[in-house]
């Protein structure tokens, strides 16, 4: 397998972000976005996918968290896409069902070059910490678009919004862990009948 790591930087008038990712890591992370709950969720994503992820972000949090959350997702998605390269020799699809106390989430992914997200999750409160709950789905949509990955996330049960968010991100991590694994039976071939995966 190639070196499955990437570094992407993105700077706009609203944010300045650097992301590093290594798909063959050990789950180590350093995440600093200025939005504590977002840091926590990306840390969970790293730990349970076994990806090494570093995120350093500065954004216009004096306005609100929207630009920072969106642009972190965009930059992380681009880094994830680059680290996958031509997406040869990987399992490609994966899913996970993860409980977090009373919350239960299902996430399925397809690393097939088609960015699309369906997020079926309702939250009770407008925010978890400094993270607006409406941005959780937006993060997943932006991540799916930029990584060219199909993500279906469904919250199956739950009452506590913190637990719901954690369950979704842990399930996403476990699904990505499975889908990005090398499949020796493919002998480096693209896992598609088309013979290529558009990236």
Residue 89's pLDDT is what?
86
Is a pLDDT exceeding 70 seen at residue 190?
Answer: no
Mean of the per-residue pLDDT values of the chain: 94
Q: Confidence class of residue 198 from pLDDT cuts 50, 70 and 90?
A: low
What does the pLDDT average to over 21-42? 98
Residue 185's pLDDT is what?
77
Q: What share of the chain is helix, strand, coil (3-state, %, to 5)?
A: 35, 30, 35
Residue 24's pLDDT is what?
96
Is a pLDDT exceeding 80 seen at residue 52?
Answer: yes
pTM summary value: 0.94
Is a pLDDT exceeding 90 seen at residue 34?
Answer: yes
Q: How many helices (DSSP H) and strands (DSSP E) are in the chain?
A: 4, 10
What does the pLDDT average to over 38-64? 97
Q: Supply φ then ψ for residue 181, to 5 degrees.
A: -65, 140
Residue 88's pLDDT is what?
87
Residue 91's pLDDT is what?
93
Q: Which residues of 25-59 are buried (b: 16+ CB within 10 A; e: fewer)?
A: bebebebebbbebbbbbbbbbbbbbbbbbbbebeb
Residue 44 in contact with residue 68, Cβ under 8 Å?
no
What does the pLDDT average to over 178-197? 71
What does the pLDDT average to over 78-105? 95
Is a pLDDT exceeding 60 seen at residue 19?
Answer: yes
Token digits for 7? 């570094």
Residue 195's pLDDT is what?
57
Highest mean pLDDT among 80-89, 139-148, 176-185: 139-148
Residue 191's pLDDT is what?
56
Q: Confidence class of residue 183 from pLDDT cuts 50, 70 and 90?
A: confident
Which domains, and CATH codes, for the chain? 5-186 (3.30.230.40)
């Amino acid at each position: 397998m190639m070196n499955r790591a990437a570094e992407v930087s993105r700077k706009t008038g609203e944010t300045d972000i650097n992301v590093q990712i290594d798909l063959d890591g050990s789950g180590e992370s350093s995440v600093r976005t200025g939005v504590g709950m977002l840091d926590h969720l990306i840390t969970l994503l790293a730990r349970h996918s076994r990806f090494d992820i570093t995120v350093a972000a500065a954004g216009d949090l004096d306005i609100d968290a929207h630009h920072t959350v969106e642009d972190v997702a965009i930059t992380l998605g681009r880094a994830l896409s680059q680290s996958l390269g031509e997406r040869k020799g990987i399992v490609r699809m994966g899913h996970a069902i993860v409980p977090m106390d009373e919350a239960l989430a299902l996430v399925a992914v397809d690393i097939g070059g088609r960015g699309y997200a369906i997020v079926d999750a309702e939250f009770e409160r407008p925010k978890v910490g400094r993270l607006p709950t409406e941005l959780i789905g937006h993060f997943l949509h932006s991540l799916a678009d930029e990584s060219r990955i199909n993500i279906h996330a469904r919250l199956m049960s739950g009452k506590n919004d913190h637990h719901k968010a954690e369950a979704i991100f842990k399930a996403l991590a476990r699904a990505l862990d499975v889908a990005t694994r090398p499949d020796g039976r493919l002998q480096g071939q693209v896992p598609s009948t088309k013979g290529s995966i558009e990236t």
